[in-house]
């Protein structure tokens, strides 16, 4: 905007001036591109001590990711490529911690814990955290809560045990936190969450591998049936 003294008001610049400014802008852009073509950026001028690419020595090679089977937790390989961080989240559930306490212990955000547990559920092929903890205990990746298991009464209500087993088998969904049914299950087991109840029953011997079904990793590709060979194919009778 320019103040026109003759008319006594503000007005826009004339079109020739606008076109001249646009031409000057594009000229500066072209000069900057020419300078960048002659001089490499500072991050490309740094020397890289690692492997170099054959076509461009200034770019580092993409390293191959290490398989999750190379990592071990509690002396056992991680099954179905569940990461070590996800195993720590599941171990926190098995110890009776809440998601906020797990996030505080691992120094991560609550959203990170949610995402990690979701990935673990998908890799174990289950739909609840309690079933994921049961799968981890079955594979020897997690440790059960033996301290709480020693404090259990001699007679545990069979209804509570069967309720947890049904959750592990996937025959029911997890109870809501405010539902009365959940306390009928967790109070006799001295647990705050259903995942912790699974850990306590496993340590007490009331939940074993035969109660945990064999699941399939949802990320793995399923083998398709081989297609029929053209030589062995027979035309239907109606053709």
pLDDT of residue 56: 57
pLDDT of residue 137: 92
* Alpha carbon distance 221, 163 (integer Å): 32
pLDDT of residue 132: 92
127 pLDDT higher than 90: no
- Coil/strand/helix, residue 235: coil
Task: Give 229's pLDDT tier (boundaries 50, 70, 90).
Answer: low
pLDDT of residue 125: 82
Lowest mean per-residue pLDDT among 8-12, 24-28, 178-182? 178-182
18 pLDDT higher than 80: no
* Alpha carbon distance 15, 29 (integer Å): 21
- Coil/strand/helix, residue 9: strand
Q: Round the average pLDDT of the chain to a whole number and report it.
A: 75
User: What is the mean pLDDT of the segment spanning 83-100?
Assistant: 91
pLDDT of residue 148: 82
pLDDT of residue 8: 80
The DSSP output letter for 72 is: E
Q: Which of 24-28, 105-109, 229-233 has the highest mean pLDDT?
A: 105-109
Buried b (16+ CB within 10 A) or exposed e, 105-144: eeebeeeebeebbebbbbbbbbebbbbbbbbbbbbebbbb
pLDDT of residue 111: 93
Sign of CA dihedral 125, 140, 114, 162: positive
pLDDT of residue 124: 85
CB 94 within 8 A of CB 196: yes
Higher pLDDT, 8 or 66: 8
CB 219 within 8 A of CB 119: no
Considering the chain, what percentage of its residues have pLDDT values greater than 70? 67
Higher pLDDT, 87 or 77: 87
Higher pLDDT, 169 or 153: 169
Lowest mean per-residue pLDDT among 65-79, 117-131, 221-235? 65-79
In this structure, the strands spanning 9-11 and 2-4 are antiparallel
- Express each pLDDT in 101-116 by its tens digit: 999 999 999 999 999 9
- Express each pLDDT in 198-211 by its tens digit: 998 998 888 888 88
- Coil/strand/helix, residue 176: coil
Domain 68-211 in CATH 1.10.10.10: yes
Task: Give 32's pLDDT tier (boundaries 50, 70, 90).
Answer: confident
Higher pLDDT, 48 or 182: 182
């Amino acid at each position: 905007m320019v103040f026109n003294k003759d008319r006594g008001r503000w007005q826009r610049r004339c079109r020739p001036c606008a076109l001249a400014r646009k031409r000057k802008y594009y000229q500066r852009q072209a000069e900057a591109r020419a300078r960048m073509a002659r001089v490499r950026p500072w991050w490309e001028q740094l020397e890289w001590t690692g492997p170099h690419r054959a076509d461009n020595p200034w770019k580092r090679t993409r390293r191959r990711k290490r398989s999750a089977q190379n990592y071990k937790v509690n002396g056992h390989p991680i099954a179905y490529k569940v990461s070590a961080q996800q195993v720590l989240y599941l171990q926190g559930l098995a110890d009776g911690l809440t998601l906020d306490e797990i996030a505080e212990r691992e120094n991560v955000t609550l959203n990170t814990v949610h995402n990690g547990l979701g990935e673990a559920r998908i890799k174990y092929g289950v739909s609840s955290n309690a079933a994921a903890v049961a799968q981890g205990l079955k594979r020897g990746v997690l440790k059960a809560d033996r301290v709480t298991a020693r404090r259990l009464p001699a007679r545990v209500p069979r209804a509570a045990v069967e309720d947890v087993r049904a959750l592990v088998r996937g025959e029911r969904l997890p109870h809501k936190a405010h539902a009365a049914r959940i306390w009928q299950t967790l109070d006799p087991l001295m647990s705050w969450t259903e995942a912790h109840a699974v850990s306590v029953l496993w340590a007490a011997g009331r939940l074993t591998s035969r109660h945990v079904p064999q699941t399939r990793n949802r990320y793995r590709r399923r083998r398709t049936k081989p297609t029929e060979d053209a030589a062995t194919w027979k035309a239907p009778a109606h053709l």
